[in-house]
Amino acid sequence: MESSPLRDKRLGHDLKGLAQDAPEGIEAKPLDNCYYHWQASITGPVGSPYEGGVFYLYLKVPMLYPFKPPEVRFLTKIFHPNVNRHGDIGIDSIQQGNWVSGLTLTKVLISIQSLLTDPFCDVCMEPEVGQLCRADRDTFNAVAREWTWRFAMHDALLRSEVEVGARPERG
């Protein structure tokens, strides 16, 4: 497949924006020379049950981007009504019929990050999780926090272990 000049220009703009002015807690980088496969990470928003977690995502940017949306999937397990057990995300802005070519990869990632603060429970990828979120927010938050600790805090735990291990012992 061959990339279009418009796609290349737009992805160059997206990459420059991510490198120079990335929003707090959002990173993304291409994994290949065609900018087809990307890896991104989102830090869980402060005040959410995902706070402190680092969630990795996979993006596949089609050759018809920016006219077709990227495919985005969580690689990190997450307990959320808008993310199914396979990591697929149910967010209108990245669905084929709702995609607007003015959206950038940065804006897509910001939308996903904001979904962590404000789940949309009217239409859920995981109906049982959405029901729990609506009916018992405290229990939902507790389970989401537990999953965050279990699956999204390895980097934070490894960093703290390295920092602790690097400190000289006091004696």
What would the pLDDT profile of 10-29 be if each residue is shown by its tens digit?
A: 999 999 999 898 899 999 99
Predicted TM-score (pTM) of the model is 0.86
Average per-residue pLDDT for the chain: 89
E strand intervals along 16-153:
26-30, 37-43, 54-60, 71-74
Alpha-helical regions (H) of 37-170: 105-117, 127-135, 137-151, 154-166
What would the pLDDT profile of 75-119 be if each residue is shown by its tens digit?
A: 999 999 999 999 999 887 787 778 999 999 999 999 999 999 999
Give the pLDDT of residue 171: 42
Give the pLDDT of residue 93: 74
